[in-house]
Structure 1
Amino acid sequence: MEIYCFLHLNYTSNLINLSRIADAEENLGESEVREAHLAKSLFYVRIGDKAGSLSTYISEKALEQLKVTESKTVAVGQKMDLVFYTLQMGLFDLDFDLISKSIDKAKKLFEEGGDWERKNRLKVYEGLFCMSTRNFKKAADLFLDSISTFTTYELFPYDTFIFYTVLTSIITLDRVSLKQKVVDAPEILTVIGKIPYLSEFMNSLYECQYKSFFSSFAGLTEHIKLDRYLQPHFRYYMREVRTVVYSQFLESYKSVTIEAMAKAFGVSEDFIDLELSRFIAAGKLHCKIDKVAGVLETNRPDAKNALYQATIKQGDFLLNRIQKLSRVIDL
Protein backbone atom coordinates (compact mmCIF):
# COMPACT_ATOMS: atom_id res chain seq x y z
CA MET A 1 0.00 0.00 0.00
CA GLU A 2 2.84 2.36 0.88
CA ILE A 3 4.62 1.68 -2.42
CA TYR A 4 1.37 2.09 -4.39
CA CYS A 5 0.60 5.44 -2.75
CA PHE A 6 4.13 6.65 -3.34
CA LEU A 7 4.14 5.59 -7.00
CA HIS A 8 0.76 7.22 -7.60
CA LEU A 9 1.87 10.44 -5.87
CA ASN A 10 5.20 10.43 -7.67
CA TYR A 11 3.57 9.78 -11.05
CA THR A 12 0.97 12.53 -10.60
CA SER A 13 3.48 15.10 -9.34
CA ASN A 14 5.92 14.28 -12.14
CA LEU A 15 3.21 14.84 -14.74
CA ILE A 16 2.40 18.22 -13.22
CA ASN A 17 6.03 19.26 -12.86
CA LEU A 18 7.01 18.02 -16.32
CA SER A 19 4.13 19.86 -17.95
CA ARG A 20 5.04 23.01 -16.03
CA ILE A 21 8.71 22.68 -17.01
CA ALA A 22 7.81 22.01 -20.67
CA ASP A 23 5.46 24.98 -20.76
CA ALA A 24 8.12 27.24 -19.22
CA GLU A 25 10.77 26.10 -21.70
CA GLU A 26 8.47 26.65 -24.69
CA ASN A 27 6.63 29.81 -23.75
CA LEU A 28 8.43 31.57 -20.89
CA GLY A 29 11.90 32.82 -19.90
CA GLU A 30 14.87 31.37 -18.02
CA SER A 31 13.66 32.49 -14.61
CA GLU A 32 10.34 30.70 -15.10
CA VAL A 33 12.17 27.53 -16.18
CA ARG A 34 14.26 27.71 -13.02
CA GLU A 35 11.16 28.20 -10.85
CA ALA A 36 9.55 25.14 -12.43
CA HIS A 37 12.61 22.99 -11.69
CA LEU A 38 12.76 24.41 -8.16
CA ALA A 39 9.13 23.44 -7.57
CA LYS A 40 9.96 19.86 -8.53
CA SER A 41 13.01 19.89 -6.22
CA LEU A 42 10.98 21.17 -3.27
CA PHE A 43 8.36 18.49 -3.86
CA TYR A 44 10.96 15.76 -3.36
CA VAL A 45 12.44 17.57 -0.36
CA ARG A 46 9.01 17.83 1.30
CA ILE A 47 7.99 14.19 0.86
CA GLY A 48 11.36 12.77 1.89
CA ASP A 49 10.29 12.34 5.52
CA LYS A 50 7.04 10.53 4.67
CA ALA A 51 8.27 7.76 2.39
CA GLY A 52 9.51 5.22 4.92
CA SER A 53 11.72 2.65 3.22
CA LEU A 54 11.68 4.69 0.02
CA SER A 55 13.27 7.75 1.63
CA THR A 56 16.72 6.91 0.21
CA TYR A 57 15.33 6.88 -3.32
CA ILE A 58 13.50 10.15 -2.75
CA SER A 59 16.60 11.79 -1.25
CA GLU A 60 18.61 10.81 -4.30
CA LYS A 61 15.89 12.19 -6.59
CA ALA A 62 15.79 15.41 -4.55
CA LEU A 63 19.58 15.88 -4.70
CA GLU A 64 19.56 15.12 -8.42
CA GLN A 65 16.79 17.65 -9.06
CA LEU A 66 18.51 20.27 -6.90
CA LYS A 67 21.62 19.92 -9.09
CA VAL A 68 19.48 20.42 -12.19
CA THR A 69 17.95 23.52 -10.61
CA GLU A 70 21.41 24.81 -9.70
CA SER A 71 22.51 24.50 -13.32
CA LYS A 72 19.65 26.84 -14.21
CA THR A 73 20.61 29.31 -11.42
CA VAL A 74 22.90 32.31 -11.81
CA ALA A 75 22.43 34.45 -8.68
CA VAL A 76 24.64 33.55 -5.71
CA GLY A 77 21.81 34.09 -3.23
CA GLN A 78 19.57 31.61 -5.04
CA LYS A 79 22.40 29.07 -5.17
CA MET A 80 22.78 29.52 -1.41
CA ASP A 81 19.09 28.75 -0.91
CA LEU A 82 19.58 25.47 -2.79
CA VAL A 83 22.48 24.63 -0.47
CA PHE A 84 20.21 25.29 2.52
CA TYR A 85 17.67 22.80 1.12
CA THR A 86 20.46 20.24 0.81
CA LEU A 87 21.54 20.96 4.39
CA GLN A 88 17.98 20.43 5.62
CA MET A 89 17.94 17.00 3.98
CA GLY A 90 21.33 16.15 5.47
CA LEU A 91 20.27 17.21 8.96
CA PHE A 92 17.04 15.25 8.73
CA ASP A 93 18.90 12.07 7.74
CA LEU A 94 21.93 12.95 9.92
CA ASP A 95 24.09 12.48 6.83
CA PHE A 96 27.20 14.19 8.19
CA ASP A 97 29.21 13.73 4.99
CA LEU A 98 26.55 15.54 2.95
CA ILE A 99 26.27 18.29 5.60
CA SER A 100 30.02 18.85 5.74
CA LYS A 101 30.33 19.10 1.94
CA SER A 102 27.33 21.43 1.74
CA ILE A 103 28.76 23.76 4.42
CA ASP A 104 32.08 23.92 2.55
CA LYS A 105 30.19 24.66 -0.65
CA ALA A 106 28.21 27.43 1.04
CA LYS A 107 31.39 29.06 2.35
CA LYS A 108 32.90 29.03 -1.15
CA LEU A 109 29.75 30.69 -2.49
CA PHE A 110 30.07 33.41 0.14
CA GLU A 111 33.49 34.22 -1.25
CA GLU A 112 31.69 35.17 -4.47
CA GLY A 113 29.20 37.31 -2.60
CA GLY A 114 26.17 36.88 -0.39
CA ASP A 115 24.04 38.81 2.05
CA TRP A 116 24.39 38.91 5.83
CA GLU A 117 21.04 37.24 6.43
CA ARG A 118 22.14 34.05 4.65
CA LYS A 119 25.56 34.16 6.33
CA ASN A 120 23.89 34.30 9.73
CA ARG A 121 21.59 31.42 8.79
CA LEU A 122 24.61 29.34 7.80
CA LYS A 123 26.09 29.86 11.28
CA VAL A 124 23.07 28.14 12.81
CA TYR A 125 23.27 25.25 10.34
CA GLU A 126 26.98 24.83 11.02
CA GLY A 127 26.43 25.16 14.77
CA LEU A 128 23.82 22.39 14.68
CA PHE A 129 26.22 20.23 12.67
CA CYS A 130 29.02 20.86 15.20
CA MET A 131 26.72 20.03 18.10
CA SER A 132 25.60 16.82 16.37
CA THR A 133 29.23 15.78 15.92
CA ARG A 134 30.17 16.60 19.55
CA ASN A 135 32.13 19.78 18.76
CA PHE A 136 30.34 21.71 21.50
CA LYS A 137 32.91 24.51 21.72
CA LYS A 138 32.49 25.61 18.11
CA ALA A 139 28.74 25.06 18.29
CA ALA A 140 28.47 27.40 21.29
CA ASP A 141 30.51 30.11 19.54
CA LEU A 142 28.35 29.91 16.40
CA PHE A 143 25.08 29.89 18.35
CA LEU A 144 26.14 32.88 20.46
CA ASP A 145 27.05 34.82 17.31
CA SER A 146 23.54 34.16 15.95
CA ILE A 147 21.42 35.02 19.00
CA SER A 148 20.43 38.52 17.87
CA THR A 149 20.08 37.60 14.17
CA PHE A 150 18.29 34.24 14.37
CA THR A 151 15.95 33.61 11.41
CA THR A 152 16.41 29.88 10.88
CA TYR A 153 12.87 28.87 11.82
CA GLU A 154 12.83 26.12 9.18
CA LEU A 155 15.11 24.09 11.50
CA PHE A 156 13.59 24.76 14.92
CA PRO A 157 11.84 27.52 16.90
CA TYR A 158 13.75 30.17 18.83
CA ASP A 159 13.08 28.40 22.16
CA THR A 160 14.92 25.33 20.93
CA PHE A 161 17.77 27.49 19.66
CA ILE A 162 18.18 29.05 23.13
CA PHE A 163 18.05 25.57 24.67
CA TYR A 164 20.97 24.46 22.48
CA THR A 165 22.88 27.69 23.11
CA VAL A 166 22.69 27.43 26.90
CA LEU A 167 23.56 23.73 27.01
CA THR A 168 26.61 24.06 24.75
CA SER A 169 27.80 27.24 26.49
CA ILE A 170 27.70 25.79 30.00
CA ILE A 171 30.27 23.09 29.25
CA THR A 172 32.57 25.22 27.06
CA LEU A 173 32.69 28.78 28.46
CA ASP A 174 34.60 29.92 31.50
CA ARG A 175 32.68 31.51 34.38
CA VAL A 176 33.31 35.13 33.30
CA SER A 177 32.32 34.52 29.68
CA LEU A 178 29.24 32.57 30.75
CA LYS A 179 28.09 35.55 32.83
CA GLN A 180 28.65 38.05 30.02
CA LYS A 181 27.37 36.06 27.06
CA VAL A 182 24.66 33.83 28.53
CA VAL A 183 23.51 34.59 32.08
CA ASP A 184 23.04 38.33 31.41
CA ALA A 185 22.12 38.12 27.71
CA PRO A 186 18.73 39.85 27.21
CA GLU A 187 17.82 37.60 24.26
CA ILE A 188 18.26 34.54 26.45
CA LEU A 189 16.51 36.03 29.48
CA THR A 190 13.35 36.73 27.49
CA VAL A 191 12.97 33.09 26.43
CA ILE A 192 14.70 30.85 28.97
CA GLY A 193 11.76 30.89 31.39
CA LYS A 194 9.62 29.07 28.80
CA ILE A 195 11.89 26.01 28.87
CA PRO A 196 11.35 23.82 31.97
CA TYR A 197 14.32 23.61 34.36
CA LEU A 198 16.72 25.46 32.03
CA SER A 199 16.78 28.78 33.92
CA GLU A 200 17.32 27.06 37.28
CA PHE A 201 19.98 24.84 35.69
CA MET A 202 21.98 27.79 34.37
CA ASN A 203 21.60 30.15 37.33
CA SER A 204 22.23 27.53 40.00
CA LEU A 205 25.52 26.63 38.35
CA TYR A 206 26.66 30.24 38.16
CA GLU A 207 25.47 31.02 41.71
CA CYS A 208 27.05 27.82 43.12
CA GLN A 209 23.71 26.46 44.36
CA TYR A 210 24.74 22.87 43.80
CA LYS A 211 21.71 21.14 45.30
CA SER A 212 19.41 23.12 42.99
CA PHE A 213 21.75 22.42 40.10
CA PHE A 214 21.49 18.65 40.51
CA SER A 215 17.71 18.69 40.92
CA SER A 216 17.20 20.90 37.84
CA PHE A 217 19.66 18.82 35.86
CA ALA A 218 17.66 15.69 36.67
CA GLY A 219 14.54 17.37 35.27
CA LEU A 220 16.40 18.54 32.17
CA THR A 221 17.77 15.11 31.28
CA GLU A 222 14.44 13.93 29.86
CA HIS A 223 14.39 16.91 27.50
CA ILE A 224 17.93 16.07 26.34
CA LYS A 225 17.06 12.39 25.83
CA LEU A 226 14.14 13.32 23.58
CA ASP A 227 16.21 15.63 21.38
CA ARG A 228 17.30 13.91 18.15
CA TYR A 229 20.59 15.82 17.94
CA LEU A 230 21.62 15.60 21.61
CA GLN A 231 20.35 12.12 22.47
CA PRO A 232 23.35 10.26 20.93
CA HIS A 233 25.67 12.37 23.13
CA PHE A 234 23.60 12.14 26.30
CA ARG A 235 26.13 10.17 28.39
CA TYR A 236 29.02 12.33 27.17
CA TYR A 237 27.16 15.56 27.99
CA MET A 238 26.25 14.23 31.45
CA ARG A 239 29.93 13.60 32.18
CA GLU A 240 31.05 17.00 30.88
CA VAL A 241 28.49 18.91 32.93
CA ARG A 242 29.44 17.06 36.10
CA THR A 243 33.11 17.75 35.37
CA VAL A 244 32.32 21.47 35.13
CA VAL A 245 30.35 21.62 38.35
CA TYR A 246 32.82 19.52 40.37
CA SER A 247 35.76 21.57 39.09
CA GLN A 248 33.97 24.79 40.00
CA PHE A 249 33.32 23.56 43.53
CA LEU A 250 36.89 22.31 44.10
CA GLU A 251 38.43 25.48 42.67
CA SER A 252 37.51 27.33 45.86
CA TYR A 253 39.39 24.95 48.16
CA LYS A 254 42.89 23.68 48.74
CA SER A 255 41.31 20.80 50.64
CA VAL A 256 37.75 19.94 51.62
CA THR A 257 36.11 17.03 53.39
CA ILE A 258 34.08 14.53 51.42
CA GLU A 259 31.27 15.04 53.90
CA ALA A 260 31.13 18.79 53.20
CA MET A 261 31.09 18.24 49.44
CA ALA A 262 28.38 15.58 49.66
CA LYS A 263 26.28 17.92 51.79
CA ALA A 264 26.74 20.77 49.30
CA PHE A 265 25.48 18.59 46.44
CA GLY A 266 22.75 16.89 48.43
CA VAL A 267 24.07 13.37 47.83
CA SER A 268 25.74 10.65 49.88
CA GLU A 269 29.45 10.47 50.65
CA ASP A 270 29.71 7.12 48.85
CA PHE A 271 28.24 8.67 45.72
CA ILE A 272 30.74 11.55 45.76
CA ASP A 273 33.63 9.16 46.43
CA LEU A 274 32.64 6.95 43.49
CA GLU A 275 31.99 9.89 41.18
CA LEU A 276 35.23 11.71 41.88
CA SER A 277 37.37 8.58 41.69
CA ARG A 278 36.15 8.01 38.13
CA PHE A 279 36.81 11.58 37.04
CA ILE A 280 40.23 11.67 38.74
CA ALA A 281 41.25 8.40 37.05
CA ALA A 282 40.15 9.82 33.68
CA GLY A 283 42.22 12.98 34.23
CA LYS A 284 39.13 15.20 34.32
CA LEU A 285 39.69 16.48 37.87
CA HIS A 286 42.97 17.59 39.43
CA CYS A 287 42.67 16.37 42.99
CA LYS A 288 43.28 13.30 45.12
CA ILE A 289 41.20 11.49 47.72
CA ASP A 290 42.51 10.78 51.20
CA LYS A 291 40.03 8.07 52.06
CA VAL A 292 41.41 7.55 55.60
CA ALA A 293 41.04 11.21 56.57
CA GLY A 294 37.94 11.68 54.42
CA VAL A 295 39.49 14.67 52.68
CA LEU A 296 39.84 15.85 49.08
CA GLU A 297 43.10 17.65 48.28
CA THR A 298 43.31 19.67 45.09
CA ASN A 299 46.49 19.74 43.03
CA ARG A 300 45.79 22.18 40.26
CA PRO A 301 48.30 22.16 37.41
CA ASP A 302 50.51 25.23 37.11
CA ALA A 303 49.66 26.65 33.70
CA LYS A 304 52.69 28.96 33.59
CA ASN A 305 55.07 26.18 34.54
CA ALA A 306 53.55 23.88 31.92
CA LEU A 307 53.97 26.58 29.28
CA TYR A 308 57.59 27.08 30.36
CA GLN A 309 58.32 23.37 30.10
CA ALA A 310 56.69 23.20 26.67
CA THR A 311 58.79 26.16 25.49
CA ILE A 312 62.01 24.52 26.73
CA LYS A 313 61.11 21.28 24.98
CA GLN A 314 60.36 23.03 21.68
CA GLY A 315 63.60 25.02 22.01
CA ASP A 316 65.66 21.84 22.46
CA PHE A 317 63.98 20.32 19.43
CA LEU A 318 64.77 23.40 17.34
CA LEU A 319 68.44 23.41 18.44
CA ASN A 320 68.81 19.76 17.48
CA ARG A 321 67.38 20.48 14.05
CA ILE A 322 69.75 23.42 13.57
CA GLN A 323 72.76 21.29 14.59
CA LYS A 324 71.80 18.56 12.13
CA LEU A 325 71.36 21.16 9.39
CA SER A 326 74.77 22.73 10.13
CA ARG A 327 76.49 19.34 9.74
CA VAL A 328 74.88 18.89 6.33
CA ILE A 329 75.97 22.37 5.22
CA ASP A 330 79.58 21.75 6.40
CA LEU A 331 79.77 18.59 4.32
Structure 2
Amino acid sequence: MSTLDELRQRLPPWHDETSSRAVDAAVGLARSHGLRVEEPTVLADVVSVVVHLRPAPVVARIPTHLTELRQPIADWLRREIDVTTFLAGQGAPVITPSGELPPGPHEHDGFTISFWSYVEPDPDRTASTDDYAAMLVDLHSVLREYPGNLPLLAPVANEVPLGLAALDRARGVLTDSEIDQLRSAADRLRPWWEAPSGDLQPLHGDVHTETLIHGRDGLVWCDFEDACLGPREWDLSMLFWSDPEAVARHHNPDPDRMRALSELRALHLALSVVAFHTSVPHVDGWEEGVRVFLSTLGTDAGSVPASG
Protein backbone atom coordinates (compact mmCIF):
# COMPACT_ATOMS: atom_id res chain seq x y z
CA MET A 1 0.00 0.00 0.00
CA SER A 2 1.34 3.44 -0.91
CA THR A 3 1.63 6.30 1.58
CA LEU A 4 -1.15 8.20 -0.19
CA ASP A 5 -3.44 5.16 -0.15
CA GLU A 6 -2.86 4.84 3.60
CA LEU A 7 -3.76 8.49 4.12
CA ARG A 8 -6.97 8.16 2.09
CA GLN A 9 -8.07 5.24 4.20
CA ARG A 10 -7.59 7.26 7.38
CA LEU A 11 -9.41 10.41 6.29
CA PRO A 12 -13.21 10.34 5.99
CA PRO A 13 -15.15 11.61 2.94
CA TRP A 14 -15.67 15.35 3.12
CA HIS A 15 -19.19 15.43 1.65
CA ASP A 16 -21.15 18.31 3.11
CA GLU A 17 -23.63 21.01 2.14
CA THR A 18 -20.97 22.65 -0.03
CA SER A 19 -20.70 19.48 -2.09
CA SER A 20 -24.45 19.39 -2.68
CA ARG A 21 -24.47 23.01 -3.82
CA ALA A 22 -21.53 22.30 -6.14
CA VAL A 23 -23.44 19.47 -7.84
CA ASP A 24 -26.52 21.69 -8.23
CA ALA A 25 -24.37 24.44 -9.76
CA ALA A 26 -22.79 22.08 -12.29
CA VAL A 27 -26.14 20.57 -13.26
CA GLY A 28 -27.74 23.99 -13.66
CA LEU A 29 -24.87 25.30 -15.76
CA ALA A 30 -24.83 22.22 -17.99
CA ARG A 31 -28.58 22.43 -18.57
CA SER A 32 -28.26 26.11 -19.45
CA HIS A 33 -25.99 24.98 -22.31
CA GLY A 34 -28.66 22.56 -23.53
CA LEU A 35 -27.19 19.40 -22.01
CA ARG A 36 -29.71 16.79 -20.89
CA VAL A 37 -28.90 15.82 -17.30
CA GLU A 38 -31.21 13.35 -15.58
CA GLU A 39 -29.10 11.48 -13.04
CA PRO A 40 -26.02 13.32 -11.75
CA THR A 41 -23.76 10.76 -10.11
CA VAL A 42 -20.91 11.81 -7.79
CA LEU A 43 -17.71 9.95 -8.67
CA ALA A 44 -15.43 11.62 -6.12
CA ASP A 45 -15.74 14.16 -3.33
CA VAL A 46 -12.67 15.13 -1.33
CA VAL A 47 -11.39 18.65 -2.03
CA SER A 48 -13.24 18.79 -5.37
CA VAL A 49 -16.51 17.24 -6.46
CA VAL A 50 -16.42 15.11 -9.62
CA VAL A 51 -19.87 14.32 -10.99
CA HIS A 52 -21.00 12.36 -14.06
CA LEU A 53 -23.87 14.25 -15.67
CA ARG A 54 -25.74 11.16 -16.77
CA PRO A 55 -26.90 10.27 -19.36
CA ALA A 56 -24.59 12.75 -21.08
CA PRO A 57 -20.99 11.61 -21.62
CA VAL A 58 -19.80 14.56 -19.55
CA VAL A 59 -18.10 14.89 -16.17
CA ALA A 60 -18.07 18.15 -14.21
CA ARG A 61 -15.21 18.96 -11.85
CA ILE A 62 -15.97 21.54 -9.18
CA PRO A 63 -13.27 22.55 -6.68
CA THR A 64 -14.85 23.02 -3.27
CA HIS A 65 -12.47 23.02 -0.29
CA LEU A 66 -9.53 23.25 -2.68
CA THR A 67 -10.40 26.89 -3.29
CA GLU A 68 -9.36 27.64 0.28
CA LEU A 69 -5.76 27.03 -0.79
CA ARG A 70 -5.65 27.90 -4.48
CA GLN A 71 -6.68 31.34 -5.62
CA PRO A 72 -7.64 32.14 -8.23
CA ILE A 73 -8.63 28.52 -8.81
CA ALA A 74 -9.65 29.32 -12.39
CA ASP A 75 -5.96 29.73 -13.29
CA TRP A 76 -5.26 26.13 -12.23
CA LEU A 77 -8.24 24.78 -14.17
CA ARG A 78 -7.33 26.80 -17.25
CA ARG A 79 -3.81 25.32 -17.25
CA GLU A 80 -5.32 21.85 -16.96
CA ILE A 81 -7.58 22.43 -19.97
CA ASP A 82 -4.74 23.95 -22.02
CA VAL A 83 -2.32 21.12 -21.27
CA THR A 84 -4.79 18.32 -21.92
CA THR A 85 -5.97 19.97 -25.15
CA PHE A 86 -2.35 20.03 -26.33
CA LEU A 87 -1.75 16.41 -25.28
CA ALA A 88 -4.90 15.19 -27.00
CA GLY A 89 -3.80 16.98 -30.16
CA GLN A 90 -0.53 15.05 -30.03
CA GLY A 91 -2.38 11.75 -29.71
CA ALA A 92 -1.52 11.20 -26.04
CA PRO A 93 -3.97 9.03 -24.06
CA VAL A 94 -5.73 11.63 -21.88
CA ILE A 95 -9.25 12.41 -20.77
CA THR A 96 -10.17 15.33 -22.98
CA PRO A 97 -12.06 18.53 -22.21
CA SER A 98 -15.70 18.09 -23.12
CA GLY A 99 -16.83 18.60 -26.70
CA GLU A 100 -20.50 18.56 -25.67
CA LEU A 101 -20.35 22.08 -24.21
CA PRO A 102 -17.64 24.67 -23.59
CA PRO A 103 -15.17 23.09 -21.12
CA GLY A 104 -14.59 26.29 -19.20
CA PRO A 105 -13.51 27.15 -16.66
CA HIS A 106 -16.90 28.67 -15.86
CA GLU A 107 -17.94 30.78 -12.87
CA HIS A 108 -21.45 29.85 -11.78
CA ASP A 109 -23.37 30.15 -8.51
CA GLY A 110 -20.16 30.78 -6.56
CA PHE A 111 -18.23 27.82 -8.03
CA THR A 112 -15.59 27.40 -10.71
CA ILE A 113 -16.51 24.51 -12.98
CA SER A 114 -14.85 22.61 -15.83
CA PHE A 115 -16.39 19.95 -18.06
CA TRP A 116 -14.69 16.77 -19.28
CA SER A 117 -15.41 13.76 -21.46
CA TYR A 118 -16.63 10.76 -19.52
CA VAL A 119 -14.52 7.61 -19.75
CA GLU A 120 -16.23 4.51 -18.42
CA PRO A 121 -13.75 2.64 -16.20
CA ASP A 122 -13.22 -1.08 -16.54
CA PRO A 123 -14.02 -2.38 -13.04
CA ASP A 124 -11.96 -5.51 -13.61
CA ARG A 125 -8.69 -3.75 -14.41
CA THR A 126 -6.46 -1.51 -12.33
CA ALA A 127 -3.25 0.19 -13.38
CA SER A 128 -0.11 -1.09 -11.65
CA THR A 129 2.86 1.00 -10.57
CA ASP A 130 4.72 -0.51 -13.52
CA ASP A 131 1.96 0.76 -15.84
CA TYR A 132 2.35 4.26 -14.42
CA ALA A 133 6.13 4.22 -14.70
CA ALA A 134 6.06 2.89 -18.26
CA MET A 135 3.42 5.35 -19.47
CA LEU A 136 5.17 8.31 -17.88
CA VAL A 137 8.07 7.82 -20.29
CA ASP A 138 5.82 8.64 -23.24
CA LEU A 139 3.87 11.31 -21.39
CA HIS A 140 7.03 13.19 -20.42
CA SER A 141 8.29 12.95 -24.00
CA VAL A 142 5.15 14.63 -25.35
CA LEU A 143 5.00 17.18 -22.53
CA ARG A 144 8.51 18.40 -23.40
CA GLU A 145 7.00 19.91 -26.54
CA TYR A 146 4.27 21.82 -24.70
CA PRO A 147 4.54 25.43 -25.93
CA GLY A 148 2.78 27.17 -23.05
CA ASN A 149 4.19 28.71 -19.90
CA LEU A 150 3.96 26.71 -16.67
CA PRO A 151 4.87 27.80 -13.14
CA LEU A 152 7.79 26.16 -11.35
CA LEU A 153 6.54 23.30 -9.11
CA ALA A 154 3.24 25.11 -8.64
CA PRO A 155 1.72 22.84 -5.97
CA VAL A 156 4.80 23.10 -3.74
CA ALA A 157 5.24 26.84 -4.22
CA ASN A 158 1.57 27.34 -3.33
CA GLU A 159 0.85 24.88 -0.53
CA VAL A 160 4.14 24.61 1.40
CA PRO A 161 4.21 28.30 2.48
CA LEU A 162 0.51 28.08 3.45
CA GLY A 163 1.16 24.96 5.52
CA LEU A 164 4.16 26.51 7.24
CA ALA A 165 2.13 29.59 8.12
CA ALA A 166 -0.58 27.35 9.63
CA LEU A 167 1.75 25.30 11.86
CA ASP A 168 1.37 27.48 14.94
CA ARG A 169 -2.40 26.88 14.79
CA ALA A 170 -1.72 23.13 14.78
CA ARG A 171 -0.03 23.16 18.20
CA GLY A 172 -1.83 20.95 20.65
CA VAL A 173 -2.67 18.45 17.91
CA LEU A 174 0.79 18.05 16.40
CA THR A 175 3.63 17.89 18.91
CA ASP A 176 6.37 20.51 19.10
CA SER A 177 8.88 17.98 17.75
CA GLU A 178 6.62 17.21 14.75
CA ILE A 179 6.24 20.91 13.98
CA ASP A 180 10.01 21.37 14.29
CA GLN A 181 10.58 18.42 11.95
CA LEU A 182 8.33 19.97 9.29
CA ARG A 183 10.04 23.35 9.56
CA SER A 184 13.49 21.78 9.45
CA ALA A 185 12.58 19.74 6.38
CA ALA A 186 11.26 22.85 4.65
CA ASP A 187 14.53 24.67 5.30
CA ARG A 188 16.58 21.75 3.94
CA LEU A 189 14.40 21.27 0.87
CA ARG A 190 13.74 24.90 -0.01
CA PRO A 191 16.39 25.02 -2.79
CA TRP A 192 14.64 22.10 -4.51
CA TRP A 193 11.42 24.01 -5.08
CA GLU A 194 12.80 27.54 -5.40
CA ALA A 195 15.75 26.84 -7.73
CA PRO A 196 16.10 23.13 -8.59
CA SER A 197 19.21 22.20 -10.52
CA GLY A 198 19.46 20.11 -13.66
CA ASP A 199 16.99 19.53 -16.46
CA LEU A 200 13.47 20.93 -15.97
CA GLN A 201 10.47 20.10 -18.11
CA PRO A 202 6.66 20.31 -18.17
CA LEU A 203 5.17 17.75 -15.78
CA HIS A 204 1.83 16.18 -14.96
CA GLY A 205 2.39 17.52 -11.45
CA ASP A 206 0.29 15.10 -9.38
CA VAL A 207 0.93 11.50 -10.41
CA HIS A 208 -0.58 9.07 -7.91
CA THR A 209 -2.63 5.87 -7.92
CA GLU A 210 -5.78 7.52 -9.30
CA THR A 211 -4.41 9.55 -12.20
CA LEU A 212 -4.66 6.70 -14.71
CA ILE A 213 -8.11 5.39 -15.56
CA HIS A 214 -8.40 1.95 -17.12
CA GLY A 215 -11.13 2.58 -19.67
CA ARG A 216 -12.64 0.05 -22.02
CA ASP A 217 -10.08 1.03 -24.67
CA GLY A 218 -7.03 1.15 -22.40
CA LEU A 219 -5.30 3.45 -19.94
CA VAL A 220 -5.80 7.22 -20.06
CA TRP A 221 -4.29 10.01 -17.97
CA CYS A 222 -6.41 12.49 -16.01
CA ASP A 223 -6.15 15.25 -13.41
CA PHE A 224 -3.61 17.72 -14.85
CA GLU A 225 -4.65 20.55 -12.53
CA ASP A 226 -1.14 20.60 -10.97
CA ALA A 227 0.68 20.75 -14.33
CA CYS A 228 3.91 22.62 -13.77
CA LEU A 229 7.59 22.90 -14.67
CA GLY A 230 10.09 20.90 -12.65
CA PRO A 231 12.45 17.92 -12.41
CA ARG A 232 10.89 14.74 -13.80
CA GLU A 233 11.59 13.06 -10.44
CA TRP A 234 8.69 15.08 -9.00
CA ASP A 235 6.27 13.03 -11.11
CA LEU A 236 8.07 9.84 -10.08
CA SER A 237 8.09 10.47 -6.34
CA MET A 238 4.96 8.64 -5.21
CA LEU A 239 5.60 5.80 -7.65
CA PHE A 240 9.04 5.52 -6.07
CA TRP A 241 7.44 5.04 -2.66
CA SER A 242 5.35 2.16 -4.00
CA ASP A 243 7.79 0.40 -6.34
CA PRO A 244 11.30 1.84 -6.69
CA GLU A 245 12.28 -1.04 -8.96
CA ALA A 246 9.59 -0.12 -11.50
CA VAL A 247 10.76 3.50 -11.46
CA ALA A 248 14.39 2.47 -11.94
CA ARG A 249 13.48 0.04 -14.72
CA HIS A 250 11.70 2.65 -16.84
CA HIS A 251 13.40 5.93 -15.86
CA ASN A 252 16.77 5.27 -14.21
CA PRO A 253 16.51 8.51 -12.18
CA ASP A 254 19.44 10.19 -10.51
CA PRO A 255 19.49 8.72 -6.96
CA ASP A 256 20.17 12.02 -5.21
CA ARG A 257 17.49 13.90 -7.11
CA MET A 258 15.04 11.04 -6.61
CA ARG A 259 15.62 11.04 -2.87
CA ALA A 260 15.30 14.82 -2.61
CA LEU A 261 12.13 15.05 -4.69
CA SER A 262 10.56 12.14 -2.79
CA GLU A 263 11.13 14.02 0.46
CA LEU A 264 9.82 17.22 -1.07
CA ARG A 265 6.64 15.41 -2.13
CA ALA A 266 6.15 14.09 1.41
CA LEU A 267 6.69 17.58 2.83
CA HIS A 268 4.23 19.07 0.35
CA LEU A 269 1.52 16.55 1.20
CA ALA A 270 2.06 16.89 4.96
CA LEU A 271 1.85 20.68 4.89
CA SER A 272 -1.12 20.57 2.49
CA VAL A 273 -3.02 18.53 5.10
CA VAL A 274 -2.05 21.05 7.79
CA ALA A 275 -3.26 23.94 5.65
CA PHE A 276 -6.51 22.14 4.79
CA HIS A 277 -7.22 21.54 8.46
CA THR A 278 -7.11 25.26 9.20
CA SER A 279 -9.61 25.83 6.38
CA VAL A 280 -11.81 22.76 6.93
CA PRO A 281 -11.51 22.11 10.68
CA HIS A 282 -14.48 19.72 10.88
CA VAL A 283 -12.45 16.92 9.25
CA ASP A 284 -11.27 14.52 11.94
CA GLY A 285 -8.12 12.42 11.81
CA TRP A 286 -6.10 14.85 9.72
CA GLU A 287 -3.09 14.71 12.07
CA GLU A 288 -2.68 11.00 11.30
CA GLY A 289 -2.32 11.92 7.65
CA VAL A 290 0.45 14.37 8.53
CA ARG A 291 2.24 11.66 10.53
CA VAL A 292 2.10 9.23 7.61
CA PHE A 293 4.14 11.69 5.56
CA LEU A 294 6.39 12.72 8.46
CA SER A 295 7.58 9.12 8.64
CA THR A 296 9.10 9.45 5.16
CA LEU A 297 11.02 12.68 5.90
CA GLY A 298 14.69 12.60 6.80
CA THR A 299 15.59 13.91 10.21
CA ASP A 300 19.23 14.88 9.74
CA ALA A 301 20.71 17.81 7.85
CA GLY A 302 22.60 15.55 5.49
CA SER A 303 19.65 13.44 4.40
CA VAL A 304 19.00 15.45 1.23
CA PRO A 305 21.69 16.53 -1.26
CA ALA A 306 22.05 20.19 -2.12
CA SER A 307 20.12 21.29 -5.22
CA GLY A 308 23.00 23.25 -6.66
TM-score range, shorter chain: under 0.3
Q: TM-score, length-normalised on structure 1? A: 0.24
Structure with higher strand content: 2
RCO higher in structure (CA 8 A, sep ≥6): 2
Q: Max radius of gyration: which structure? A: 1
